[in-house]
Amino acid sequence: MKTFFQNKNRIRFTLKYAFIITLLIHLFLIVNGLQNVDSMWGTYYSKFDSSEVGRFTLSFLSSFSSYFDLQYFNSLLSIVYISITVMLLIELFDIKDKKLILLFTILYAAFPSISGTLTYSFLTDAYFLSTLLAVFSLYLIRMKNNWFVVVIVSLLIYISLGTYQSNLAYIITLLIILFIRDTVLQNKSIKFYIQGAIVTVSGLILYVLHFKFFERTNQLTSYQGVNEAGISLTTIFNAFRKSLETFNMYFFSSFKFVNIFEILNLIFIIMFFIGLIIIIFNKKQSIFELIKIVVSLLILPFSIFIIYFISPNVWYHNLMIQQMVFIYALGIIIFDLLIIENKTHLNSIFNKANFILLFIIGFNLIIITNIYYEKLETINNQTFSMLTQVSFDIRHIDGYKDDIPLVIIGDPSLTLPSNSLYDEKTPPMSPGTSAYLVNSTQKFANYLNHFIGMKNPPSIDEETILSSYSNEINNMPVWPNKESIKSINDVIIIKFPQ
């Protein structure tokens, strides 16, 4: 089979199969309309503004698909963005073997960050568009090597970072992967990397200026340590430790190797280094080139978690680690070069073993993704059943009116079965979800009104109610006892276990 074809053919091939593969992997989520915890804020987000968490351009990119929580449409639009992103990455990596193109597509599309992000259907298209802008920026300066493009790209990176700050780690990690590739190929041109550094720093400066200007007149949230962002020696020192710990936790389960995912990753790393040594030996790399490769590889864990160096209290959840897939990409790049230089029978056997390994890793990621979706479906079904019963109980209390506010006491999730089995049987980097959907009065009321058809708004004075009627509330039993729901002074109070 031919392993090299014209770029136009490769672009068409990648786009077509990237869309089909991504759609099939995430079909269960798309057709079942599953909700996650943040979906409970509402169905229309025209006033949604994430500036207080530093996401200044999120609302702008979200506006392209309307502000409605259109899960089916937004998911399909996201898949288009993902497909274009994969195509651009394939062009940047210059992967020539069709089988490896398909495998990279599977690995990228099934990576847990993708499935986690897709559950945020009201914002998912904006997040994936911001990632696309990040990749397109580097693709532009790779293809169009002039300073006018550098200015345009700096603005695109600012928009990307202003939508989701973790795109900074994505961009830097991608640059390092490309640098390793070019070093292995003995490409000595560094203009692309100079311009890449310039546009990344320029985009970051624009973002920081916006951040500081906003901070002067507005209150920043404590979410993800945004209000404590800044660089210090203590932050840098702790960031090195946190980066290694988090990398090991996500990729190797802190070396506990309790799931096949971590075992496959260990085998992959071993195969990668064997392949890298073969390529280095074949190309007779100089000592200087070897040093550049080794240093770049050592930097990778820290580039993946570079936000630690900026925000000391950030918590890396699975939506922020899509750049970890570039570790697989680096292996695919090396294996692709081995196929081109397939000079011996032993090389041929090694290449087939790599293909089988990558296929198993991709297949395992698809399974993990759908286990996550099954968990989310279970949570959706349990929540709907519980709130259907709650709505029945509310309508049958004395003094019920369909316009009086409600407030919940305690944690509704404690009345539902545990779903810990899903977490126990999947790796640490499997997409996390809030255990249950309605973890506040606001979300509880929104669910009742939107999915059950009630009209009771959430109480706007929850703390006053809790303090004013503490004696009555303390004497109430917890749901599902019929006395756990009462109307007190035209406020519905629902008590759950605490």
Is the same domain home to 131 and 169? yes
Count: domains in the chain: 2
Is the same domain home to 418 and 408? yes
- 172: tokens are 């830097």
Q: Would you say residue 384 has pLDDT above 60? A: yes
- Mean pLDDT score across all residues of the chain: 85
Is the same domain home to 358 and 390? no
- The pLDDT tens digits for 252-300 are 876 777 778 889 999 999 999 999 998 888 888 889 999 999 999 999 9
Domain limits at 396?
374-495
The predicted pLDDT at position 489 comes to 84
- Side chain identity, residue 96: K
Is the same domain home to 366 and 385? no
The predicted pLDDT at position 89 comes to 96
Give mean pLDDT, residues 44-50: 60
The predicted pLDDT at position 106 comes to 97
Residue matched to tokens 């249950």: 436
Give mean pLDDT, residues 17-46: 83
Interhelix angle 98-110/7-25, rounded to 10 degrees, is: 40
Residue 1 covered by a domain: no
Return d(Cα 176, Cα 171) in angstroms, integer.
Answer: 9
Is the same domain home to 287 and 350? yes
The predicted pLDDT at position 223 comes to 54
Residue 138 covered by a domain: yes
Is the same domain home to 228 and 311? yes
Is the same domain home to 368 and 379? no
Is the same domain home to 285 and 347? yes
Interhelix angle 147-163/191-217, rounded to 10 degrees, is: 40
Return d(Cα 150, Cα 156) in angstroms, integer.
Answer: 10
Is the same domain home to 133 and 175? yes
Last residue of a domain, one of 314, 339, 373: 373
First CA to last CA distance, the chain: 63
Residue 165 covered by a domain: yes
More confident residue, 283 or 485: 485
Residue 485 phi, psi dihedral angles, 5° rounding: -125, 120
CA distances to 23, 31, 46, 58 from 28, in Å: 9, 6, 28, 26
Asked if residue 14 lies in contact with residue 414, where contact means CB atoms within 8 angstroms, the answer is: no
What SS3 state is found at 408? strand
Residue 448 covered by a domain: yes
Is the same domain home to 336 and 193? yes
Is the same domain home to 62 and 108? yes
Is the same domain home to 30 and 120? yes
- Side chain identity, residue 450: H
Other Cβ atoms closer than 10 A to 5: 12
Residue 484 covered by a domain: yes
**Strands 485-487 and 492-495, sheet pairing:** antiparallel
Residue 265: DSSP 8-state: H
- 82: tokens are 């993902």
Residue 353: partners with Cβ closer than 8 Å, 6 or more residues away: 271
- The pLDDT tens digits for 164-223 are 888 999 999 999 999 999 999 888 778 889 999 999 999 999 998 988 888 787 766 655
- The pLDDT tens digits for 124-145 are 899 999 999 999 999 999 887 7
Strand runs labelled E in 364-470: 406-409
Closest CA to 296 of 138, 171, 181, 170: 181
- The pLDDT tens digits for 355-378 are 999 999 999 999 999 988 888 888
Residue 247 covered by a domain: yes
Residue 2 covered by a domain: no
What kind and span of H or E run contains 32? helix 27-32
Residue 139 covered by a domain: yes
- 493: tokens are 């109070």
Last residue of a domain, one of 324, 339, 373: 373
Cα 457 from chain centroid?
Answer: 32
Last residue of a domain, one of 342, 373, 404: 373
Asked if residue 323 lies in contact with residue 175, where contact means CB atoms within 8 angstroms, the answer is: no
The predicted pLDDT at position 303 comes to 93
